[in-house]
């Protein structure tokens, strides 16, 4: 029924119910007209609530979207000392690029299930902010580091997809409202974001150092030989530049030849 017709019906029934001379039969007839309209309105409300719930839930992970999570996180922070976690999946894009979006969605779905289960145990509010970034708000309590470590283990476990085991890493940044000058959600997210990228930086530096230390360190004789050869090549290339550059390179080569390492 169109909204204008519904309004007209309700106004007429309201008027009938207010009449002091209305008979029971008239009142029953008026109510009988209202019931179908009320049922239709209730069905429309339920449909709208379902649409709203879908809009506030990520269809891939089943987690609340950013706006829905924000509302829940604010409630958590309002209840007392809390912690906010930001998690970014490391190596997700290569999985998506190499195996396709279906594989990427499988990883996101698995992460969503694991994060939701962990949050249910911890009494936390978890959500997907977008892409491969997730957020959690939970009450601060002793053993927070161990709880976050357990979450990291869950998120980085391999994901079965067809005949493959897909693996991603996870960088998690933690912000405790007790350590913030302004213990609001905005400040907590900013601190957690900084900690998350600090965790990413440690991981990248660690991998670079592992590659560097695996290289063989050259001996002093090898170092001198390589340096002199390179300077000699520069000297030949500089013959058209001028005597000052040639003299400088020649002097550098002579000095290196005298080094005893």
Catalytic annotation present for 140? no
- Residue 214 exposure: Cα atoms within 13 Å on the Cβ side: 6
**176: burial class by Cβ within 10 Å (0-12, 13-18, 19+)?**
middle
Tokens, residue 9:
């019906």
DSSP H helices, the chain, are: 3-18, 24-55, 66-78, 92-99, 101-122, 144-155, 185-213, 220-237, 243-257
DSSP 79-108: TSSEEEEEEEEETHHHHHHHH-HHHHHHHH
Set 47, 75, 88, 132: catalytic member: 132
Active site residues: 132
């Amino acid at each position: 029924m169109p909204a204008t017709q519904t309004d007209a019906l309700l106004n007429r029934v309201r008027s009938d119910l207010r009449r002091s001379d209305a008979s029971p039969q008239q009142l029953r007839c008026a109510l009988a007209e209202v019931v179908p309209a009320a049922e239709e309105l209730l069905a429309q409300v339920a449909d709208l609530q379902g649409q709203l719930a879908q809009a506030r839930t990520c269809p891939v992970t089943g987690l609340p979207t950013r706006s829905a999570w924000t509302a829940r996180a604010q409630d958590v922070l309002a209840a007392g000392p809390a912690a906010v976690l930001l998690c970014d999946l490391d190596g997700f894009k290569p999985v998506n690029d190499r195996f396709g979006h279906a594989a990427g969605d499988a990883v996101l779905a698995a992460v969503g299930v694991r994060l939701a289960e962990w949050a249910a145990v911890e009494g936390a509010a978890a959500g997907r902010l977008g892409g491969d970034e997730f957020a959690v708000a939970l009450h601060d309590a002793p053993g927070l580091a161990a709880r976050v470590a357990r979450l990291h283990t869950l998120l980085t476990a391999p994901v079965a997809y067809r005949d493959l085991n897909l693996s991603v890493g996870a960088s998690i940044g933690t912000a405790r409202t007790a350590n913030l000058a302004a213990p609001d959600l905005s400040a907590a997210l900013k601190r957690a974001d900084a900690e998350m990228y600090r965790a990413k930086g440690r991981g990248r530096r660690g991998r670079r150092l592992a590659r560097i230390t695996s290289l063989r360190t050259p001996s002093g004789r090898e170092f001198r030989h390589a340096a002199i050869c390179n300077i000699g090549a520069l000297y030949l290339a500089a013959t058209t530049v001028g005597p000052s550059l040639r003299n400088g390179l020649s002097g550098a080569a002579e000095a290196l030849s005298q080094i005893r390492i």
